[in-house]
């Protein structure tokens, strides 16, 4: 169900007249979430389509969460990173040890690299 369809459903089913069609998406979704979690002054009677709204919210939040998740890298790779005398040297780990990149490494950058490597998903 689209947000516009949910707004139409709310216009039809909600006992209190609200101008849902003119609300932006975030305001509307946040309001629905608050409504379904009892954080508004409004009462939902037995005729209100709670299951439909809860399913809509679950889909919205699941979709939003999944958009923020990245797919895992496929394949494999190996590099050697060396810090020596203020230089970061990156080589391929094959027999030739091909130089992939070399650059100055400024104070704190090595720690930043480690933070990136050690961070959790």
User: Given this model, what pLDDT does residue 65 score?
Assistant: 54
Q: Domain for residue 102, yes or no?
A: yes
Question: Does residue 90 share a domain with residue 62?
Answer: no
33 in Cβ contact with 57 (< 8 Å): yes
Q: Return the ∠ at Cα 44 (arms to 6 and 27), rounded to 5°.
A: 45
Euclidean distance between CA atoms 71 and 62, whole angstroms = 15
Question: Does residue 58 share a domain with residue 30?
Answer: yes
User: Given this model, what pLDDT does residue 109 score?
Assistant: 94
Radius of gyration for the chain, computed over Cα atoms and rounded to the nearest angstrom: 26
User: Given this model, what pLDDT does residue 63 score?
Assistant: 66
Q: Domain for residue 43, yes or no?
A: yes
User: Given this model, what pLDDT does residue 116 score?
Assistant: 87
Residue whose C-alpha is closest to residue 28's, from 11, 49, 48, 43: 11
User: Given this model, what pLDDT does residue 48 score?
Assistant: 92
Residue whose C-alpha is closest to residue 3's, from 28, 33, 37, 30: 28
Q: Looking at 37-90, list the stretches that DSSP marks H as alpha helix, in order from N- to C-terminal side.
A: 50-68
Q: Domain for residue 111, yes or no?
A: yes
Q: Domain for residue 74, yes or no?
A: no
Q: How many domains does the chain have?
A: 2
Domain containing 93 equals 79-118
Helix axes 25-36, 3-13, angle to 10 degrees: 50
User: Given this model, what pLDDT does residue 64 score?
Assistant: 58
User: Given this model, what pLDDT does residue 102 score?
Assistant: 96
Per-residue pLDDT in tens (0 to 9) along the chain, 121 residues = 899 999 999 999 887 888 999 999 999 999 999 999 888 888 888 899 999 999 999 888 876 555 555 667 777 889 999 999 999 999 999 888 899 999 999 999 999 999 888 887 6
Q: Domain for residue 8, yes or no?
A: yes
Q: Domain for residue 73, yes or no?
A: no
């Amino acid at each position: 169900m689209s947000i516009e369809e949910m707004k139409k459903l709310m216009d039809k089913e909600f006992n209190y007249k609200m101008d849902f069609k003119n609300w932006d998406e975030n305001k509307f979704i946040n309001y629905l979430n608050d409504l379904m979690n009892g954080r508004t002054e409004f009462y939902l009677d037995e005729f209100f389509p709670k299951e439909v709204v809860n399913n809509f919210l679950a889909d919205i939040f699941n979709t939003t969460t999944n958009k923020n998740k990245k797919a895992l890298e496929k394949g494999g790779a190996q590099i050697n990173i060396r810090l020596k005398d203020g230089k970061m040297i990156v080589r391929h780990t094959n027999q030739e040890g091909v130089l992939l990149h070399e650059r100055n490494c400024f104070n704190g950058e090595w720690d930043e690299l480690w933070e990136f490597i050690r961070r959790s998903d």
